[in-house]
Structure 1
Amino acid sequence: MIVVGNHTREPDLRAALAAVEDSLVEATRSDVPFISEAARHLTRPGGRRLRPMLVLLAARFGDPDAPGVVPSAVVVELTYLATRYHDDVRHEPHASVAVLIGDFLFARASRLLAGLGPRAVRLQADAFKRLVSGQILETTGPRDGHDPVAHHLRTLAARAGALTAVSGRLGALTSGADEETADALAVYGERLGVARHLAAELRSPVQGAPTLPVLLSGDRSAPAVAEARQEVHRQCAAAREALTDLPESPAREALAELCDTVIQDG
């Protein structure tokens, strides 16, 4: 049985994750030592690698050893890391350097993506467009007369859900799984991404950033926190529902367990 988190995993899944790590190291290698060091700062092992894990688990509904699976996992992680560099610009004294390192990671992701074919390029481009749209929505805020809570959830569906959604879809498609499976895993990924971000808002809110409890009540009162926690549960329930028609398997169990982990984290 596949187990997520810090527990023992199946040897072949562990090997696939190791291959992702090796590819990330290779992808961040540059002839300019400063670029290599700066890019590798974010790619060092230790994180959960949620998006690569989603690609690898989704691929188990097809052929997990298909040649495009590991590159897809690397592409989504490089894209995520690039957006992290761009997000750090507002806190970075050398903002131009942060932007350029992010651009370097995007370039490496694009090179890998080109080898996966035109459909993968389109899917990743659409996901990135949604992600950027979400960042813009977060920056501009809701228009006058619009519900700020609905705006926040819409923003998170794009900003936090776009890459987790495309992780599920790319993992399914590159492994040869059918379209219905890819659709289900994309819905699962988006809902999981939103739930995970909401849980992070509850666990460690960022000063000055909009969070669901504050949008609900103007503060972090106990009722507002409880209501926000219920939203985490609703998003996880929607993620689980997306898995309903998929065949029972260790991969499906592991995806369901990821929902449990998000709820516990919140």
Structure 2
Amino acid sequence: MNTSLNTPGNPAVNTPGNASNALPTTDPGLEDALREGLEVVERRLRAAVGNADPIADAASRHLVEAGGKRVRPMLTLLGAHLAAPGAPVPDEVVAAAIVCELTHLASLYHDDVMDSAPTRRGAPAAHHVYGNNVAILTGDLLFARASNLVADLGPEAVKVQAETFERLCLGQLHETTGPGPDQDAVAHYLDVLSDKTASLIATAGRFGASFGGGSEAVVQAMVRYGEDVGVAFQLADDVLDLTSDTGESGKRPGTDLREGVPTLPSLLVRRAAAEGDRAAQEVVDLLDSGRLGDDTVLAQAVAALRVHPVTDQARTTAREWAQRAATHLAGLPASPAREALETYAATVADRVV
């Protein structure tokens, strides 16, 4: 996920300075406005993570300097352009974009500690460089910086940010504890994605549309769009973890399986095994063998799951979420920003073709 947004394998936004930073639009005016907006966001984001304390400064800059897709800032800016086509983007929109990206970055510091992830964005994870305690505290520091910035945007923005933060925490909590004994594992997983991933993407769109001067209809369309495209993006990553030979999801294929991270294909294959599917049971036996640290066994598990029908089922589900995201824009006037948002949703779906 570190190449261009309009490449079918990768709907990513690269930060300024990376080799490619294509955007989901062919409209020259919107492309220029988005590029300029993202450059401003990037400069101010790097300033926002700065700290007089040298340890805090280095740790806070670790993930920012590793790069990233900046999807949330892009959607914040697109929300503003959707609200007021052709109008200059208010400074409040830029501030809101930084708030969303800081919140996202903070959550990554915590996630990597909890998941014992060795790398993030091609660089050693912060906890491998600075230790767990410093990584956790750095995440807390970035959450504090986001809260400080959002306070300048008014009490309603503070409330939205707090509600989003609550959902992020609940999503992580529910991922950690897993489904209850009477809870469907797939439904539980989709709920986790809604809270842990989609909630912040929806907030990014909401902030952009709201501070861009949009009507309530535009704001709510961006919220619903963000909720669905956020889930779609993660579901597409789940499929790419199996089907991409080149690590298009930003991870080595099979990484999720090796680390025991729940994904839609692995959950579906467990359901199929429980229903008596012998091929599915063979896959589950590999997943539960305790031998996925062996590259040969991992490759066998990836290959077996890749060809099982549940992976096509997961692929279809990802497309359905992406296609549904675009439908939330259908009642809005045609504009370059609306077309760009539809293109982004379509590109998410195209990743799993």
Which TM-score band applies after superposition, normalised by the shorter structure? over 0.9
Query: 1:15 — aligned with what?
Result: 36
Q: Distance in 2 between matches of 1:57 and 1:118?
A: 23
Q: Distance in 2 between matches of 1:152 and 1:12?
A: 37
Q: Which amino acid aligns with 1:87?
A: D
Shift of 1:137: 1.0
Shift of 1:73: 0.2
Shift of 1:66: 1.6
Shift of 1:243: 0.8
The answer as to whether partners of 1:56 and 1:64 remain within 8 angstroms in 2 is no
Out of 234, 253, 263, the position equivalent to 1:211 is 263
Shift of 1:179: 1.1
Cα displacement string for residues 102-122 of structure 1 (whole angstroms, at most 9, x for unaligned residues): 011111111110100000010
> Structure 1 residue 44 and structure 2 residue 81: aligned?
no
Out of 59, 69, 72, the position equivalent to 2:96 is 72
Q: Distance in 2 between matches of 1:40 and 1:110?
A: 18
Q: Distance in 2 between matches of 1:249 and 1:222?
A: 41
Q: Which amino acid aligns with 2:47?
A: E
User: In the TM superposition, what are the counterparts of 1:102-181 in structure 2 within 5 Å?
Assistant: 102-181=139-218
SS of match in other structure, 1:30: coil
The answer as to whether partners of 2:77 and 2:89 remain within 8 angstroms in 1 is no
- Structure 1: give runs of 5+ residues left out of the alignment: none
Shift of 1:264: 2.7
More helix by share: 1
Normalising by structure 1, report the TM-score.
0.94
SS of match in other structure, 2:22: coil
Query: 1:237 — aligned with what?
Result: 323
Cα displacement string for residues 204-255 of structure 1 (whole angstroms, at most 9, x for unaligned residues): 2512011111111124252011000011011011101111111111111111
Q: Distance in 1 between matches of 2:151 and 2:39?
A: 22
The answer as to whether partners of 1:165 and 1:185 remain within 8 angstroms in 2 is yes
Shift of 1:7: 2.5
Cα displacement string for residues 126-160 of structure 1 (whole angstroms, at most 9, x for unaligned residues): 11111111111111111112111111111111111
- Structure 2: give runs of 5+ residues left out of the alignment: 1-5, 14-20, 24-29, 117-126, 242-254, 271-282, 284-304
Judge which range, 56-65 or 228-237, deviates more. 56-65
Shift of 1:67: 2.3
Query: 1:31 — aligned with what?
Result: 52
Query: 1:183 — aligned with what?
Result: 220
Shift of 1:53: 0.4
Q: Distance in 2 between matches of 1:212 and 1:13?
A: 33
Normalising by structure 2, report the TM-score.
0.72
Q: Distance in 1 between matches of 2:135 and 2:155?
A: 29
Cα displacement string for residues 76-132 of structure 1 (whole angstroms, at most 9, x for unaligned residues): 000000000011113235211111110111111111101000000101111111111
Q: Which amino acid aligns with 2:56?
A: I
Query: 2:137 — aligned with what?
Result: 100
How many residue pairs get aligned? The number is 265
- Whose Rg is larger? 2
Shift of 1:190: 0.9
Judge which range, 154-163 or 210-219, deviates more. 210-219
SS of match in other structure, 1:10: helix
In the TM superposition, structure 1's runs of 4+ consecutive aligned residues that sit over 3 Å from their partners are 3-6
Q: Distance in 2 between matches of 1:53 and 1:64?
A: 15
Cα displacement string for residues 26-73 of structure 1 (whole angstroms, at most 9, x for unaligned residues): 101101122212211211274220000000000011354222000000
Judge which range, 44-53 or 136-145, deviates more. 44-53
